[in-house]
Amino acid sequence: MKSVETNVIENLEIAKNFYRLRFFWDRTWGTPLAGNFCEIKVNNLSVPLLRRPFAFSDYNEKEKYAEIIYQKRGTATDVLSRKKSIESNVKPIENEDEDARFFISFEDDFSMEKIHILAPLGNSFYYTSDISSKQRVFAVAGGVGLGPILFAVKTSPFPALLVAGYRNETLVPKADIFQELKIKICTDDGSEGFKGTVVEYLRTSDINSNDLIVACGPLPMLKALHGFAVTRNIMCKVSMEEMMACGVGACMGCVVPCKNGKYRRVCKEGAIFDSREIVWG
């Protein structure tokens, strides 16, 4: 885990109020994996005071960037949405190596081209031995859950299908973010792709107990997916979202109720859990 100040490379609106934020990432800071998240401080001011958690949506070691996909929701994400690319305001530092332009002194105030980031945090979707016998991945996303699921598809050890659910076509990202990925779009009103929820789509598919579901999205979606997975005896790994304060396991502010009366911290033991561990209520 590293605490670094880094520069924005791109901040692109990919759908209404949804943005892809790409920032410089040096490999010596760690290797973000699908399911890992970062804590971002958007400025040096007391508002917003706390860092905010966001899941990684990609990491490119060669091109030295990592990225998140975020929804403009409140104070921090509003500031984030106004961040500008470093490309528009590069001040090269003399006698430094090629990457020096990405590092700006910690004494500087935050500018609109910088973020402060603590990462990589949490666990990841694929690095447990219990998935070794799986054959395919059904990677299911809803709303702000798209980022980690895109990353999960790109880094899947098995052939993967991205199943992304939206209320209607206006919310479906129009940028090139799906690239060559195998994808099924579902909309509640049928205005694009399959008409119905992601779970309704899965019911029509050939998914079976040799497959793995990885998922991130609103709690009702995760709960419905868990119910579906249990009835079909399919392993389902979910990324849980809870409000966070410290983000590093110290405050117990982000716990989720688990089986056997235990509570587990999303920031430390998660954010990825086997859906059977969670008490869904």
Ligand X SMILES: Cc1cc2nc3c(=O)[nH]c(=O)nc-3n(C[C@H](O)[C@H](O)[C@H](O)COP(=O)(O)OP(=O)(O)OC[C@H]3O[C@@H](n4cnc5c(N)ncnc54)[C@H](O)[C@@H]3O)c2cc1C
Residues contributing to the site for ligand FES (CB under 6 A): 244-247, 249-254, 265, 267
In this complex, which beta carbon is closest to ligand FES, that of residue 145 or of residue 270? 270
C-alpha closest to that of 173 among 10, 20, 8: 20
Q: Is 96 exposed, middle or buried (0-12, 13-18, 19+ CB in 10 A)?
A: exposed
In this complex, which beta carbon is closest to ligand X, that of residue 68 or of residue 104? 68
C-alpha closest to that of 279 among 235, 240, 243: 240
Q: What are phi and psi of 238, to 5 degrees?
A: -115, 145
| 77 near ligand X (CB under 6 A) | yes
Strands, E assignment, the chain:
2-15, 18-24, 37-41, 52-60, 65-71, 114-121, 136-142, 160-166, 183-187, 194-195, 211-216, 235-239, 255-257, 263-265, 272-274
Residue 241 interacting entry, from ligand FES, ligand X, none, C-beta within 5 to 8 Å by type? ligand X
Instruction: Output the smallest distance, CB 162 to ligand X, in A.
Output: 15
Q: Which residue stretch of 70-78, 157-165, 176-184, 195-203 sits at the interface with ligand X (rule: CB under 6 A)?
A: 70-78
What's the first-to-final CA gap in the chain, in angstroms? 33
In this complex, which beta carbon is closest to ligand X, that of residue 71 or of residue 191? 71
Strands, E assignment, 104-258:
114-121, 136-142, 160-166, 183-187, 194-195, 211-216, 235-239, 255-257
Q: Which residue stretch of 62-70, 131-139, 162-170, 191-199 sits at the interface with ligand X (rule: CB under 6 A)?
A: 62-70
Number of residues engaging ligand X in binding (CB under 6 A)? 23
| 115 near ligand X (CB under 6 A) | no
In this complex, which beta carbon is closest to ligand FES, that of residue 45 or of residue 252? 252
Binds ligand X by CB under 6 A, chosen from 48, 196, 227, 253? 48
In this complex, which beta carbon is closest to ligand FES, that of residue 14 or of residue 246? 246
- Please list the residues that pair with 185 across neighbouring strands: 164
In this complex, which beta carbon is closest to ligand FES, that of residue 52 or of residue 237? 52
Please report, as ranges, the residues that interact with ligand X according to CB under 6 A: 37, 48, 52-55, 68-71, 73-77, 144, 147, 241-244, 266, 271
